Structure 1
Amino acid sequence: MTAAARPRRPAGKLIPAIYCQLGAMLLVAAMRPLLPVSVWHAEALVWLQGASAALLSYLLRQPMWWCWIHLLFPPALWWAHSNGISGQYGMVGFIVSALVFWRTAGGDAPLYLSSDSVADGLARLAETERAKNLVELGAGIGSVVVPLARRLPDLQITAVEQAPLPWLVLRWRCRRLPNVTVCFRNFWECSLAGSDMVFAYLTPAVMPRLGLKCAAEMEGKSLLVSSAFVLPDAVPEMVEKLDDNPANALFCYRVSTLLADRAV
């Protein structure tokens, strides 16, 4: 793959998030002399801090869930302090959250759990495609990998996960599944060459980059299956409806179509 064809990695979200809180802190400090004395108390100021950080996050075009985090983070800290809750609990919560949502800080998708119907639909597609192998990008704790591996023992599955705690759970759940290989790595750095099928349940923000990666690395006959989210400017070859949630579906893209779209 040439440098021109290599998909560009999006900027991480953690550093801009820190800038939002620091910027909001400076903004509130500058606004305080202009505010009525009635809102000088700490509770009002922490909510103003959160609202300012959320506004800055929105202006920087961070995902909407970051805006909610910015809004609620300062009041949550103040509430914990006011109720005598030790800062150690907050540190423990931060560490656990970081281990679970590791790749989110880098701009990738947070942990999502798929239903059994997703694994059932993916199994039907794998049987129809006569796929010999499948790669799941961002396998989480194995909510798809484990039931799929049990249903199709001849299907060789590579489960890629980077967040430490989900990876540990995934590794434990797959310890007796010989057809599953668990990889601890960033899935953007995982080669998809030779993959019959690739499955992903990510976010709309990363779908354009996912399409570029698959088109650059996979063979034309291979299939990309995305749960819930579509590729922009691409028409799925088929849509697999899910039994338990008709509003959701698996969107299937033949890589040869993606290659043709890139050539236009």
Structure 2
Amino acid sequence: MRLPVTLQSLLIQGLAVLLALVSYRLLDEVLSYRPSLAQIALVQGGIAALLSRFARQARWWHPLHFVFLPAVVVAQRLNIPPLGYLAAFIVLVLFYWSSFRTQVPLYLSSRKAWDALAGLLPATERFSFVDLGSGVGSVPLHLERRFPQARFYGVEIAPAPWLISWLRGRLRGSGTRFTRRDYSALDLAEFDVVFAFLSPAAMPALWRQASAQMRSGSLFISQAFPVGSRPPDHVAGEGDGARHTLYAWRM
């Protein structure tokens, strides 16, 4: 049974600290060299990043493990007041919310991806489109200008990105409906097109949800992350790099 990624990360950091302390002791006793706290922190970060890779965590965890303890050391030397830490914590919570559970960080798609996405949508037919994990709302706000006949929805669980998207929509007089909720609680049968730019860790469960709920003939589109169980029916934007590539399946 695979441990939750949060528990994995805690164990990785703890083990990396122990190994860094062992390396410090060996350097002191064998070479009579005592590394500084900053050097030990960098060693610990490197060990943690390697352990993260060996544990087959998502790639974005590796740099997080590497910078964690060095960042703590730097913050300690900056003498940041306690309220500063509290403010930073609140901001991170508001933007990343349940990323520790969903393993979906805040990814922002590019205009290249928006244009490739527009090429997969019906030019004149009416359709409903939902962006799962819509972030600050850029995708539906951009597309609704090009497809006035369509209805657009954005679903985001993190409070800060959702609020930003809602405010952007209000200021533009947009018809896009932004909802703060977990996309796993949605009934995807309500939409003709389902778009997601999430993470590799989230795709297996989302694909099962889409396969079970989406209507025959509807379109499921994933940016950057394919699903392993079925080859896509269409691939767009691959010339712009893996991060901008769209994978589409006709359900």
Q: Is the 8 A contact 2:123 2:147 kept in 1?
A: no
Q: 1:116 to 1:58 in 2, by over 3 A?
A: closer
Q: 1:122 to 1:131 in 2, by over 3 A?
A: farther
Q: 35, 46, 50: which is aligned to 1:55?
A: 50
- Classify the secondary structure of the residue corresponding to 2:163: helix
Following superposition, the deviation at residue 195 of structure 1 comes to 1.5
Deviates more, 1:13-22 or 1:122-131: 122-131
Residue 252 of structure 1: aligned partner: 248
CA distance in 2, matches of 1:115, 1:69: 23
The two structures have a TM-score, normalised by structure 2, of 0.84
Matched, 1:224 2:220: yes
Q: RMSD between aligned alpha carbons? A: 2.7
Matched, 1:118 2:113: yes
CA distance in 1, matches of 2:200, 2:39: 35
Alignment coverage as a number of residue pairs: 245
Q: Is the 8 A contact 2:128 2:151 kept in 1?
A: yes
Residue 17 of structure 1: aligned partner: 9
Following superposition, the deviation at residue 253 of structure 1 comes to 0.3
Q: 197, 200, 211: which is aligned to 1:201?
A: 197
Following superposition, the deviation at residue 11 of structure 1 comes to 6.6
Q: 1:194 to 1:83 in 2, by over 3 A?
A: closer
Unaligned runs of 5+ in 2: none
- Classify the secondary structure of the residue corresponding to 1:62: coil
Q: 232, 239, 242: which is aligned to 1:236?
A: 232
The within-5 A match list for 1:92-241 is 92-128=87-123, 130-175=125-170, 176-177=172-173, 179-241=175-237
Q: Is the 8 A contact 1:53 1:70 kept in 2?
A: yes
Following superposition, the deviation at residue 222 of structure 1 comes to 0.8
Matched, 1:66 2:61: yes
- Classify the secondary structure of the residue corresponding to 1:43: helix
Letter matched to residue 186 of structure 1: D
Following superposition, the deviation at residue 64 of structure 1 comes to 2.2
- Classify the secondary structure of the residue corresponding to 2:134: coil
CA distance in 2, matches of 1:234, 1:67: 28
Q: Is the 8 A contact 1:43 1:75 kept in 2?
A: yes
Q: Is the 8 A contact 2:45 2:65 kept in 1?
A: yes
CA distance in 2, matches of 1:24, 1:242: 38
Deviates more, 1:110-119 or 1:207-216: 110-119
- Classify the secondary structure of the residue corresponding to 1:209: helix
Q: 1:253 to 1:96 in 2, by over 3 A?
A: same
Q: 36, 61, 80: which is aligned to 1:41?
A: 36
Which string of whole-angstrom CA distances, capped at 9 and with x for unpartnered residues, describes residues 233-263 of structure 1?
42222223389x36633221011xxxxxxxx
Q: 1:117 to 1:40 in 2, by over 3 A?
A: closer
Q: Is the 8 A contact 2:197 2:223 kept in 1?
A: yes
Following superposition, the deviation at residue 27 of structure 1 comes to 3.9
The two structures have a TM-score, normalised by structure 1, of 0.80
Letter matched to residue 192 of structure 1: L
Letter matched to residue 139 of structure 1: S
Which string of whole-angstrom CA distances, capped at 9 and with x for unpartnered residues, describes residues 164-211 of structure 1?
111110111122545322111121222212321101112233322222
Following superposition, the deviation at residue 76 of structure 1 comes to 1.7
Unaligned runs of 5+ in 1: 1-9, 256-264
Q: 1:228 to 1:52 in 2, by over 3 A?
A: closer
Deviates more, 1:223-232 or 1:81-90: 81-90
